[in-house]
Structure 1
Amino acid sequence: MTAPIAPPVRAGDRERRQTADQLGSALAQGYLEMAEYETRLQAAFAAHTTAELRQLVADLPLAQLRRNDPRRRGARRAAARKAVRMHLAGYLAMVVIVLTVWLAVGLTAGAWYFWPIWPILGAGIGVVGHALPTRFAFACPPRQGSINPARIA
Structure 2
Amino acid sequence: MVEPNDGGMRASDSDRDEVAGRLRAGLDEGRLTVTEYDERLQRAYAAATLGELRPLTSDLPVPQPSAEVVARDEHKAKVSKEWRDWAGGAVVMIAIWGVTSAVSGDLKFFWPAIPIVIWAAFSVAMTIEGPGKRHDDD
By the TM > 0.5 criterion, same fold? Answer: no
TM-score, length basis structure 1: 0.40
TM superposition score normalised by structure 2 = 0.44
Larger relative contact order (CA 8 Å, sep ≥ 6): 2
